[in-house]
Copies of this chain bind each other. A is one copy, B any other.
Amino acid sequence: MIKLTYAEENYLKAIYELTEAGKKSTSTNDISAWMKIKPASVSDMLRKLGEKTVIDYRKYYGVHMTEEGKKLALRIIRKHRLWEVFLVEKLKFSWDEVAEVADELEHVQSPTLIQRLDEYLGFPKFDPHGDPIPDEFGDVRSRPRIALNEIELNGSGQIVAVKDSSAAFLRYLDKVGAYIGARIKVLEKVEFDGSIEILVDNKKTIFMSKDVAGNILVMQ
């Protein structure tokens, strides 16, 4: 049975998130930038994670996750997202406050704890940012979703997730009135800069930049 330290768990989760976000290989510099740890330190850790067979590491050529690594990463992500649900649903945290705390809670070692927590929360399928919660076997049921800026004019759908979970972005969404679950319709698409106007819940119109729209995920 592979045992990971606190730091190793953080690396593995980061690598998983970077590789899932499109490309299947991730570079040392990507990980360094994402985790805000110097490339030299990353190199060293990649060697160690390679030895533990949770990643596939070829010097100078980035890393891939192994099957074992994916399973472990999904276990950490499961814990992270369940704790996020707990913080929002039970402790009344707002969705921009939970990431930091969940980044600590995700490392608590107790299979019973996480199983009971899941049960207590009613087996939620998505976290407060709309990200799917893997089940205890690491299976993820991900919904097909598309960035809001790619919806055609007059197209409609429902906001189901955000790409960027930074507090700044989430607070901005709160301010303009965009939220997970909102039904939206694209009223206008500005050619010039890609900004768009949307109708939320048939009530309110919101104008947003292409950058903001690109970080909102919609299910049609």
Contacts and interface: CB of A to CB of B under 8 A. Distances in A.
A145 B9 CA distance: 45
Interface stretch (A13-21, A34-42, A98-106, A155-163): A98-106
A60 interface: no
Contact of A91 (B101, B108, B113): B113
Nearest to A6: B6
A100 B91 contact: no
A217 to B, nearest CB: 28
A120 to B, nearest CB: 6
A121 to B, nearest CB: 10
A112 B94 CA distance: 12
Interface in A78-92: 87, 90-92
A105 B100 CA distance: 15
Contacts of A110: 100-101, 104
Nearest to A113: B101
A179 B112 CA distance: 23
B104 A109 contact: yes
A93 interface: yes
A113 B97 CA distance: 10
Contacts of A93: 112, 116
Contacts of A92: 116
A108 B97 contact: no
Contacts of A117: 91
Interface of A: 87, 90-93, 97, 100-101, 104-105, 108-110, 112-113, 116-117, 120
Given A91-B113, A91-B116, 13 more contacts: A90-B120, A91-B117, A91-B120, A92-B116, A97-B112, A100-B110, A101-B108, A101-B113, A104-B108, A104-B109, A104-B110, A105-B105, A105-B108
20 contacts: A87-B113, A90-B120, A91-B113, A91-B116, A91-B117, A91-B120, A92-B116, A93-B112, A93-B116, A97-B112, A100-B110, A101-B108, A101-B110, A101-B112, A101-B113, A104-B108, A104-B109, A104-B110, A105-B105, A105-B108
